[in-house]
Structure 1
């Protein structure tokens, strides 16, 4: 059953990632990968919320494979983040690459922490 939930969540997360990435990127007229940064931060926030809910016993066990592994796993994208960072370097946009790496790491950690704090505020 868990494998099917992961697959279902992954299918939804991958589609959401594609659509959100394209929409966010279309709002910006730069070579900076805003779409990937946005989906990674959003997925980190959602995973922080889910983790907090699980810590406080508010997350049914079947939600974890569906949303935590499937949806968040497919929504966030380390491989695209890595590819885009290397591409920025090879295209001569080294400062954009540095900003992408630092921004993505800080946004992901910050969003995950905010998710945990929101869960603590809601369920503790």
Structure 2
């Protein structure tokens, strides 16, 4: 039941992310990735709101997995990252929270750069070297 809750929520969240991002791009007509920024902000707000609600009202594990891990995780993984980081801060674990901020942002940006570089070398003829 737990895996089904995550899978169903994740599928719905991914479709909502795609639709929200496309809608924002159509409305604001900008080359800035405003759609994804808005998705990340909304998803981060909603994950914090639902996390509080579910802790206070003790929701079932499948419901929490559907909404937080599945739906909002599929909508934006940034919201999960933001929640986990804030929970570390709230638990007084400032060092691990700051380390998570530094490593997640720094290493993920470097990983994207490395993937772009490797993809260019492998898939673009005559680009090696």
Whether TM exceeds 0.5 here: the answer is yes
Match of 1:38 in 2: 38
Question: Does 2:13 match 1:6?
Answer: no
Aligned Cα RMSD in Å? 2.3
* TM, length-normalised to structure 1: 0.59
Match of 2:50 in 1: 50
* TM, length-normalised to structure 2: 0.57
Shift of 1:61: 2.4
Structure with larger RCO (C-alpha < 8 A, sep 6+): 1
Distance (whole Å) between structure 1 residues aligned to residue 22 and residue 41 of structure 2: 15
SS at match of 2:61: coil
Structure 1 unaligned spans of 5+: 88-124
Aligned length: 83
SS at match of 2:64: helix
SS at match of 1:56: helix
Structure 2 unaligned spans of 5+: 79-107, 114-129
SS at match of 1:30: coil
Where do residues 102-117 of structure 1 align in structure 2 (5 Å cutoff)?
Answer: none
Match of 1:108 in 2: none
